[in-house]
Amino acid sequence: GRAQEIMLILNHLFESKSIPEVPVFLDGLVIEATGIHVAFPRYMNQEITEQVIENKNVFITEYFTPVKSPQQREEVLEMPDPMIVMATSGMLEGGPVLAYLREFAGDEKNLLMFVSYQVEGTLGRRLLKDIREIRLMREDGKPELINVKMEITKIDGFSGHSSFQELLKYVKSIRPKPRNVVLVHGEPEAVSNLSKNVSKILPNARIYTPRNLDSITLEIKT
């Protein structure tokens, strides 16, 4: 996953002394996703698998601390020292990240770094457009106006999705060959292009490219 890839990079940077060691706090779904990686290392690349076999799991080091309760989150928010927080949701549409944003937004020494695509209409997209006054809901349900002074930046290159070639490679590997393929969750042009290439790999399969709200009936034979 994207978060775990960032953890690997941070672990390398700390161990190589490329950046100062600071605590890294994990909050939200990042914790559960990392737990899956810890439990099933054999599904990752050979280098990581070998490290785990040697009892060197890079996802369980002194650098990373999971935040497991609201009380612990409050303690993190009150810490005066430098830190890194990895929290969901990535588009700032909910989740524990909003608590950190509310606390850290007003200090220009802080940095908010996006590592994923920000959909139009989301809070994350608005911040990337340099909108500096935002409204966040307080715990009592009332809106609070936040003046964002922290630095906002975005890093490309981290993707939570497979590439075009990776998808085709996966289709080629499926056994037995599927009779039906449904392509969803993509821009129309990209889905259309993928459909043409999947058809070449699976000439006998029916390829569906439904649009939003379209319905498909599939016959399942047992």
SS3 at position 25 = strand
Phi/psi of residue 67, nearest 5 degrees: -95, 110
Q: Would you say residue 175 has pLDDT above 80?
A: yes
Read off the pLDDT of each residue in 124-153 and give the average, rounded to a whole number. 93
Q: Would you say residue 28 has pLDDT above 90?
A: yes
Q: Record the pTM.
A: 0.73
Q: Would you say residue 113 has pLDDT above 70?
A: yes
Q: Would you say residue 159 has pLDDT above 80?
A: no
Q: Would you say residue 38 has pLDDT above 70?
A: yes
Q: Would you say residue 160 has pLDDT above 70?
A: no
201-221: pLDDT as tens digits: 999 999 999 998 999 998 877
Q: Give bridge partners of residue 147 from the DSSP assignment.
A: 133
Residue partners of 91: CB distance under 8 A and separation at least 6 = 116, 118, 119, 122, 123, 124, 125
Q: Would you say residue 48 has pLDDT above 90?
A: no
Read off the pLDDT of each residue in 126-144 and give the average, rounded to a whole number. 92
By the 8 A CB rule, do 61 and 11 touch? Answer: yes
Read off the pLDDT of each residue in 146-169 and give the average, rounded to a whole number. 88
Q: Would you say residue 137 has pLDDT above 90?
A: no
pLDDT band at 39 (very low <50, low <70, confident <90, very high): confident
Read off the pLDDT of each residue in 101-124 and give the average, rounded to a whole number. 94
Mean pLDDT (the chain) is 91
pLDDT band at 40 (very low <50, low <70, confident <90, very high): confident
**Residue spans of beta strands (DSSP E) within 55-214:** 64-66, 84-87, 111-114, 133-137, 143-147, 151-154, 180-182, 206-208
C-alpha distances (whole Å) from 192 to each of 19, 119, 203 are: 44, 21, 16
Read off the pLDDT of each residue in 6-15 and give the average, rounded to a whole number. 92
- How high is the pLDDT of residue 157? 77
Residues in the chain: 222
Read off the pLDDT of each residue in 32-59 and give the average, rounded to a whole number. 79
Q: Would you say residue 55 has pLDDT above 90?
A: no
Say how far apart CA 117 and CA 158 lie, in whole Å.
9
